[in-house]
Structure 1
């Protein structure tokens, strides 16, 4: 590995988690609150929220 620092792979959400995350986001919950409810990292929520198209 030659002294490289490897970052852990981002966790992929199941379809159920993704749907629940979108419902919670639509109800106005913050990324931090959603992460606590789903038991995942806030960065995972943020990455998945930014990947979803906005329907405003």
Structure 2
């Protein structure tokens, strides 16, 4: 994950789980990687409705 290009972000909206608050995101190979105060998670691109950058 060190080679990912991280961008500042505020929120990810997921198909099933609603909003997910984040501090940054990165995109790679059909996945959306997200960081917040709890760590880093990855979501399949198909499950992400919207990413709010900021």
TM-score by length of 1: 0.31
Larger Rg: 1
Higher RCO (CA-CA < 8 Å; seq separation 6+): 2
